[in-house]
Amino acid sequence: MKTPYQSSVDQVLADQQVTIDAGLNSQTVKNRLAEVGPNELTQGKKKSMLARFLDQFKDFMIIVLLVAALISGVVVHEWADAAIILAVVLLNAVFGVFQESKAEEAIDALKEMSTPNAHVRRDDQIMTVPSTELVPGDVVLLEAGDVVPADLRLVESANLKIEESALTGESVPVDKQIGALDESEVGIGDRTNMAFMNSNVTYGRGVGVVVATGMATEVGRIAGMINSAEETTTPLQDNLSQLGKTLTVMILVIAVIVFGVGLWRNSASLPEMFLTAISLAVAAIPEGLPAIVTIILALGTQKMAKRNALVRKLPAVETLGSTDIIASDKTGTLTQNKMTVEKVYYDGQLHDAIDPITGNNPIMQIMNFSNDTKIQEDGTMLGDPTETALVAYGETKDFDLPNKLAEMPRINEVPFDSERKLMTTIHQLANGQYFVATKGAPDELLKRISRVVDNDNVTPMSDDTREAILAQNKGLAVQALRVLGMAYKVVAELPATIDSDSVENDLIFAGLVGMIDPERPEAAAAVAEAKAAGIRPMMITGDHRDTAEAIAVRLGIIEAGDDAAVITGAELDKQSDEEFAKNVDKYSVYARVAPEHKVRIVNAWQSLGKVVAMTGDGVNDAPALKAADIGIGMGITGTEVSKGASDMVLADDNFKTIVVAVEEGRKVFSNIQKSIQYLLSANLGEVLTLFMMTMLGWDILAPVHILWINLVTDTFPAIALGVEPTEPGIMNQKPRGRKSNFFTGGVGSAVIWQGILEGLLTLGVYYVAITWPVHTTDAAIHADALTMAYATLGLIQLFHAFNVKSVHQSLFTVGAFRNKAFNWAVLASFILLAVTILVPGFNGLFHVTELGLSQWGVVLGAGVAIIVIVEIVKFFQRRFATKA
């Protein structure tokens, strides 16, 4: 069976059992409405607020933290620690519920785009009805300013133009016609005899027969894709989940060993040893990690917002940093979304738009006169983008259109017609003659030209001149410029009938104008920067292949002549998903694509393990934005649908902002990595200290010691590491991709050896304290040794926080005190630690004693030692890496 766009008008009317003049009758409408349902979009079942809240507790790390809170409170009786853990968990859950409504927002926005009423012909009358009551077969009347209420097969068209960029991505309104299309498969953007739901009529008028309503429309298909799209987890979420599982297993194993060995060595009683093992497990779990990650991400969103990237979903901040692919929409993101004159051909010469031209030049008069652009009082222009571009060009050359029209008023016209592709206006001259200005498609215009003007000299059109004009037209078209021809004549009298045949003949060729939606000035540099960062930029557009390829070459996305890197939606349809996944690496430019194509592109790259960022501004982009690892909507030109489906919105619709956001995302991940390195190496030091003290039969640090060190030395410095400045060269690194984790780039080995170092230095201080005691009694010796071990374990972590400012670079290169927040955080942690030893009353509560200067010297020496040792190791790591 033929589709509506393949069928003739008569066939469509027969299929829908309707006539244009009468429309459907009321009973038929009632029957069909009962059969197909209302003309509205439906939405998947919404989750209740409670269900969303409970979903937040399914994460493995969160479950571990809840168990830790239970043990801290019920078993160890550290209710403050338990309260902190619970507060962190609840905060994360509330924030997760707040963020989780992308798809619903997208569908709601789609509904809001629909027009509330439609003008239809029913029962031999024209009436206005709610658009939700439209049914297949309804005859709908369209005129400029209307929103198309359903998918229509056009049966009448009078210069009808419909702006479909939100659906197709094409930047200019589409000229509509009513003839059947012969091709078996025609993309949405090329179905010129169709009008689609939620698109906008910008010019002319038309009549269409409803062929699809509700979820059966093209917009409905998109809504269905949004409803069915699966939520993807971000690399950050995957990494945190895996980290939580790994840590839990390791910590439980160590806690069991410590408990067993402690009982075997008679280090403490069974209840005391059990509390020690539990305290060790609670202390070793980085319970502050989810809160720290959330804070770092939130701070990242603030930084991005200042740089025009508005984040709607926190993990998106970090996901940008791992991006391998940026699939960008062309119009408005890579280009300016504004047709602009670029080349002008007149007097036998091709000129750049910046070249001077006089207002008396015929080509300048024609492009401004044969034009329906309206200039508002505030100077803004209303009209077709192509025509406003011509008037805007005139303004840059000081062509005063209002005054010129006052001198040469328009008295008649032959309106544009999509069949003849020409437009003519007639103007009264002061001498009583008439100036006829015609613009349109060069090939059609040349059929009506007999002469040519060259430097004010009008001569007959020769074959050589005609060939030269055609060659220029082709040359401009190859550059993806939209070319219009300009012609004129001056007549003493007007024909009795003003029409194309009587007016558009014996014209004088004035020149050609080449226009394009130009690339943003900073876009090419941003593309180059993305490539340098190992990110592959790609262009996806609804525009024609030649236009897309030309812009991609100008931006540096592909090389000139690399036709194999360009593919159209029709060509993509011929490949299966398996074939496309194998070939996807070949393509960098996608032209004339449909919504499902964009989703296939995202899925193909994701199947190869790549992290994909997709930009978009139209309704057609919403499914792909939702499917991508990070969907990026446009804040200025974007529809509410695309924004609702996005993780991040660009306030300036600028590709450059994406690259800036990638840099911020990389910094965020790097800082999270630093925090994790700090937390885990510190916790490993604690675990090793307790384990070795148990194995050696030494007095074991009490649960209160471990929990307090864990609380005051972990939290503040770890958060402050999250606001470390960007390290040099971060955008010269390759994307880490989805398979990477927090332990890549040397972090895993650093956590292990630095954690062991912390433990050994703490044990060394304890050994020094009992080998060279200050006091003589065993009780005083052991009390001093325990206090020194406690002070060292806490203080050494604060010193180590400085090491973690960079995994490989020297502390003195990155700047030891450059981060003021970090300086204050370390100072606050030091004070909280020192209070427990130096302030009377607190030292009794924490079972520690006052230390002498020599003892403090040993403790501080251990703290300084970790910086010196780590700096030496980093030096040799950098040296060997350079040689390799």
Q: How far is CA 158 from CA 176, 189, 235, 365, 419, in A?
A: 9, 20, 53, 27, 10
Mean pLDDT of 673-686: 86
Are the beta carbons of 484 and 442 closer than 8 angstroms? Answer: yes
Residues 6+ apart with CB under 8 A from 114: 40, 41, 131, 147, 149, 197, 198
- pLDDT single digits (tens) 617-647: 777 677 888 888 888 888 777 766 677 778 8
Give the Cα separation of 693 and 284 in Å (integer).
16
User: Which pLDDT score, from 0 to 100, does residue 706 have?
Assistant: 75
Residue range 315-336+520-659 in CATH 3.30.70.3040:
no
Residue burial 549-573, b: 16+ Cβ < 10 Å; e: rest: bbbbbbbbbbeeeeeebbbbbbebe
Mean pLDDT of 373-394: 88
Q: Given this structure, which CATH class describes domain 235-298+666-883?
A: mainly alpha
Mean pLDDT of 25-34: 93
- Per the model's pLDDT, the better-predicted residue between 740 and 6 turns out to be 6
Lowest mean pLDDT among 28-37, 39-48, 434-443: 39-48
User: Which pLDDT score, from 0 to 100, does residue 96 have?
Assistant: 54
Asked if pLDDT for residue 460 goes beyond 90, the answer is yes
Asked if pLDDT for residue 379 goes beyond 70, the answer is yes
User: Which pLDDT score, from 0 to 100, does residue 615 have?
Assistant: 87
Q: Is 386 left (phi over 0), alpha (psi -120 to 50) or beta?
A: alpha
User: Which pLDDT score, from 0 to 100, does residue 88 have?
Assistant: 57
Lowest mean pLDDT among 216-225, 475-484, 531-540, 808-817: 216-225
Confidence band for 233, pLDDT divided at 50, 70 and 90: low
- Per the model's pLDDT, the better-predicted residue between 314 and 507 turns out to be 507
- Per the model's pLDDT, the better-predicted residue between 383 and 169 turns out to be 383
Q: Which CATH number, 3.40.140.10, 2.102.10.10, 2.70.150.10, 3.40.50.970, labels domain 4-36+113-223?
A: 2.70.150.10
- pLDDT single digits (tens) 511-542: 999 999 888 888 899 999 999 999 999 998 87
Read off the tokens for 378.
């505030």
Lowest mean pLDDT among 288-297, 391-400, 577-586: 288-297
User: Which pLDDT score, from 0 to 100, does residue 223 have?
Assistant: 73
Asked if pLDDT for residue 113 goes beyond 60, the answer is no
Lowest mean pLDDT among 80-89, 244-253, 420-429, 448-457: 80-89
- pLDDT single digits (tens) 170-201: 657 888 989 898 877 777 878 889 999 888 88
Asked if pLDDT for residue 792 goes beyond 90, the answer is yes
Read off the tokens for 600.
């296939």
The answer to whether 4-36+113-223 and 315-336+520-659 have equal CATH topology is no
Catalytic positions, written as ranges: 329
Asked if pLDDT for residue 91 goes beyond 70, the answer is no
Read off the tokens for 395.
């303004």
Tell me the β-bridge partners of 341.
515
User: Which pLDDT score, from 0 to 100, does residue 106 have?
Assistant: 44
- The percentage of the chain sitting over the pLDDT mark of 90, rounded to a whole number, equals 38
User: Which pLDDT score, from 0 to 100, does residue 95 have?
Assistant: 54
Asked if pLDDT for residue 109 goes beyond 60, the answer is no
Are the beta carbons of 313 and 294 closer than 8 angstroms? Answer: no
Apex 422 CA angle, 352 and 178, nearest 5: 125
Superfamily of domain 341-516: Calcium-transporting ATPase, cytoplasmic domain N (3.40.1110.10)
Confidence band for 43, pLDDT divided at 50, 70 and 90: low
Lowest mean pLDDT among 164-168, 302-306, 426-430: 164-168
User: Which pLDDT score, from 0 to 100, does residue 400 have?
Assistant: 92
Asked if pLDDT for residue 757 goes beyond 60, the answer is yes
Residues 6+ apart with CB under 8 A from 240: 59, 61, 289, 290, 293
Give domain limits for the chain.
Answer: 4-36+113-223, 235-298+666-883, 315-336+520-659, 341-516
Confidence band for 101, pLDDT divided at 50, 70 and 90: very low
Confidence band for 391, pLDDT divided at 50, 70 and 90: very high
Asked if pLDDT for residue 75 goes beyond 70, the answer is no
Tell me what the pLDDT averaged over the chain comes to.
84
